[in-house]
Structure 1
């Protein structure tokens, strides 16, 4: 029923799970600490914020280029290389 090899294998599996769990928790703790450190370093930088204190993010609608059909952001678009491209500034 119980043999020495089965018992050793069970102990090995339990040990692997235990050390794997400890490693997983340690990696998570290091990641959380790095995130906190990054937030602390970023706190000194001036940022445009809304009333809630979070950085303000601006978005821009995409437009379809009439020449090539690709969707581009109009303010940051570059020419697609076609002669009639309206974004060839």
Structure 2
């Protein structure tokens, strides 16, 4: 999955690729805060907590992931049933 920097089409931008790799390996495997509340689980780290930690090293980590999901997960790439 190759991404190019929006400001300069000649230089690849590795940050979104690194963020996506980390999200696929760790972020999406973690429960959300809401999941932990529903299960009454106070010991399992949440996706949001992990996102906060990663945002210290990759500024805007959660926003990068959300943006990439919105660009890729859509009806141009997947058949998404209505409802």
Bucket of the pairwise TM-score, normalised by the shorter protein:
under 0.3
TM-score normalised per structure 1: 0.25
